[in-house]
Amino acid sequence: MKSIADISRELELAEEAELAGLLELYEKDERSGVARLVGRYRKKQEKLKKERERLARMRVYEEKYGYAGLICGVDEAGRGPLAGPVVAGAVILPPGCEILYLNDSKQLSAQKRESLYDEIYQKAAAVGVGIVGHERIDEINILQATYEAMRKAVASLGVVPQILLNDAVTIPDIAIPQVPIIKGDAKSLSIAAASVVAKVTRDRIMCEYDREMPQYGFAAHKGYGSAAHIEAIRKYGPSPIHRRSFLKNIVGQVP
């Protein structure tokens, strides 16, 4: 008879396709330790089933527009901060691509976003990123800068998608058919993937700025208007990456 430790290792190392048969086998074992192991893995299976059901719901738009060909999700990060760039992501996922726990980047921890970012790059058919800096934001306003970042992201894919699924917006001056989806980063896998790429890319940029200008705390707040950030602006003045057009209500007119 196998020891409970041996059974635990076997279950831990089992491929998903093998696991159901092993659990059925060990359910006949009357030892309480084995019963606890089986119960734990049954719960994992149920969790995985629910996650796949959630992902299926997030494929609705991809399935609806699948006839078009290459479907690209587009989203941005950084419209609201007082400093740093706005970043857009564009992602084409191959049909049937499974990335477990992919979701709107705002619903994920920083650690989870990082791991999903790597998986997206591994599994995606194409990934594009567009970055528009603070000076351009001040020049043309944040909405137009966001559109510009999105156009850059789509242009950098390396392939031309047949349709864009966008988080809430219709991007001007782009010939590809578009479908704006309100709260699309929580409803479409392609948009969710784009949101993760945009968020992680921008967060890494802000962490680099934090190393150059630690007094502003960019690694913590990523440029958003936290109390600590506003206090730092008032104490040290605007940094070279602050959006001057965003600071009028904090420090008045900024040269």
**Residue 30 is part of which domain span?**
4-57
Cβ(84)–Cβ(222) below 8 Å: yes
Provide the pLDDT for residue 252: 59
> Of 203, 231, 201, whose CA–CA distance to 215 is shortest?
231
Residue 124 and residue 36 share a domain:
no
The answer to the question of residue 181 being in a domain is yes
Q: Is residue 221 part of a domain?
A: no
Classify residue 51: in a domain, yes or no: yes
- Whether residue 214 is contained in a domain is answered as no
How many domains is the chain built from? 2
E-assigned strands of 45-124? 71-77, 86-92
Are 186 and 84 in the same domain?
A: yes
- Residues 91, 125: one domain? yes
In a domain, 132, yes or no: yes
| Residue 118 and residue 27 share a domain | no
User: Quick check: is 183 in a domain?
Assistant: yes
> E strands within the chain?
71-77, 86-92, 126-132, 163-167, 178-181
Question: How confident is the model at residue 173, as a pLDDT?
Answer: 98
Condensed to tens digits (0 to 9), the pLDDT of residues 194-244 reads 999 999 999 999 999 999 999 999 999 999 999 999 999 999 999 999 999
**Confidence at 14, pLDDT banded by 50, 70, 90:** confident
Say whether pLDDT at 253 is over 70: no
Pair (89, 142) in one structural domain: yes
225 φ, ψ (degrees, to nearest 5): -85, 60
Instruction: Report the 10 Å Cβ neighbour count for 62.
Output: 20
CATH of the domain at 118: 3.30.420.10
Residues 31 and 114 in one domain: no
In a domain, residue 136? The reply is: yes
Say if residue 201 is in the same domain as residue 79: yes
